[in-house]
Amino acid sequence: MSLFFDIFTIIFLFFLFASSHSILAAFNVKQRITDKIGNKIAFYRLFFNVSSILIFVAVYFLSPKPNIIIYDLQFPYDIIIFGIQILGIIGLFWSGSYLHLKEFLGITQIERYFNGTYSPDDLDEHHELVIKGPFKYTRHPLYFFSIIVLGFRPTMDLFYLVFFLCMLIYFYIGSIYEEKNLEKRYGKSYLNYKKNTPRLIPNPFLTNKISQENV
């Protein structure tokens, strides 16, 4: 009974994080906030990132951690799995190189605000539809490579397994809501991109036929 309660608590706490993250990231929510505060929405992205990290860290430390090991790989399998993790980390940096890091973090928004050049039409960030690099093979390469980094572990305990499964579900459901926001921003362009590019898992038999110039 105690083990069941621990698992339920982990899932419940993660649900609180996922719900707050999705609500704060919703296009309609940001639009309503912009209607009230105007170009001060420039500070929202940084607030969103900081609050998400704090909530995530709180959830991690508050979650019970049953002392149950699912598996513990020995040499050479642990080295092989670690190598796959390294490839996932490289993939994350590759994906990140196609994003504007300071914009993603919420820094350039504040700079534009103090320069008097921030447009409330941007909501919390100046967003561009990127379909180059890893984005040609999956619509959410950051999620895909995060799954590789998080899922391939030489040692797996019960807490991490439950947490990882929650992350998998959240990545998939979160991508659905994220794409609804992108459809509102880009309309037919994003629908066309969506039709030609897998959601999470790259498909070598499906080639993205959209060129950056057509967006």
Answer for the pair 59, 129: CB distance below 8 angstroms, yes or no.
no
Low-confidence residues of the chain: pLDDT under 50: 211-215
The first and second tokens of residue 26, run together, are 């919703």
What percent of the residues of the chain are helix, what percent strand, and what percent coil, each to the nearest 5?
70, 5, 25
Domain of residue 174 covers 2-214
> How confident is the model over 60-114, as pLDDT tens digits?
999 999 989 999 999 999 999 999 999 999 999 999 999 888 888 899 999 999 9
**Structurally, how many domains does the chain consist of?**
1
The whole model's pTM is what?
A: 0.84
Answer for the pair 192, 210: CB distance below 8 angstroms, yes or no.
yes
What pLDDT is stored for residue 211 in this prediction? 45
What pLDDT is stored for residue 149 in this prediction? 95
* Whole-number Å distance between alpha carbons of 140 and 197: 10
Residue 75 neighbours by CB distance under 10 Å = 8
* Whole-number Å distance between alpha carbons of 208 and 140: 14
What pLDDT is stored for residue 7 in this prediction? 94
